[in-house]
Structure 1
C-alpha cells in the first residue's frame, strides 16, 4: 500500500487530482483509514493511474475516461483512441489551413503596400 504522497510521486498526479478522481469515481483509493482518513493506493490503483495519465495526455475528457473505466474489459478503449487520433488530425489540418490563410494575408498586404 502507498500513502497518497508516495502515490503522487509515483504517478505524477497531484493530491488534488487524486481527490477529484475519487470524488467522480474515476480512481478511488484502495483503502481509507477510518481513524485518520488517510488514503492508500495499491498496485492495481497504480496501473489505473498510469492509464489515466496517458489518457489525459491524449486529450481525453474526464467523461471519456469514466467511460473507459466503466468498461473494465477496455474493449471500447481502442475505438476511443482511434476517434481521438482522428480528432487531433482534423485539428492539425485546421491549424495548417489557418497558417496558410495568415501567410496569404501577409503576402497580399505586402503586395498592396509594395
Structure 2
C-alpha cells in the first residue's frame, strides 16, 4: 500500500488531483484509515492511475474518463480512443485549413500593396 504522497510521486498525479478523482468516484483509494483518514493506494490503483494519465493526455474529459472507468471490462476503450483520434485528426485538418486561409489573406494583402 502507498500513501497518497508516494502514490502521487509514482503516477505523476498531484495529491489534489487524486483527492478530486476520489471525490468524483474516478479513482478511489484502496483503503482509508478510519483513525486518521489517510488514503492508501495499491498496485491495482496504480494501473488505473496510469490509464487516467494517458486518457488525459489524449484529451479525454473527466466525464469521458468516468465513463471508461465505469465500464470495468474496458470493452469500449479501444473504440473511444479511436473516436478521440479521429476527432483530433479533424481538428488538425481544420487548423491546417485556417493556416492556409491566413497565408492566403496575408498574400492577398501584399499583392494589394504592390
Runs of at least 5 residues in structure 1 that lack an aligned partner in the other structure: none
Q: Separation in 2 of the partners of 1:107 and 1:25?
A: 53
> Offset at 1:3?
0.4
| Structure 2 unmatched runs, 5+ | none
The aligned counterpart of 1:105 is 105
Distance 1:60 1:31 in 2: 27
Tell me how far 1:68 sits from its aligned partner: 0.6
Question: Residue in 1 aligned with 2:50?
Answer: 50
Question: Partners in 2 of 1:49 and 1:55 — Cα distance?
Answer: 10
- If the length of structure 1 is used for normalisation, what is the TM-score? 0.99
1:39 CA displacement = 0.4
Deviations 1:8-46 (A, max 9, x none): 110000011000000000000001111111100000000
In 2, the alpha carbon distance for the partners of 1:57 and 1:51 equals 10
Matches within 5 A, 1:15-34: 15-34=15-34
Quick one: distance in 2 between partners of 1:75 and 1:57? Answer: 20
How many pairs are equivalent?
114
Q: Where does 1:71-110 land on structure 2 (aligned, <5 Å)?
A: 71-110=71-110
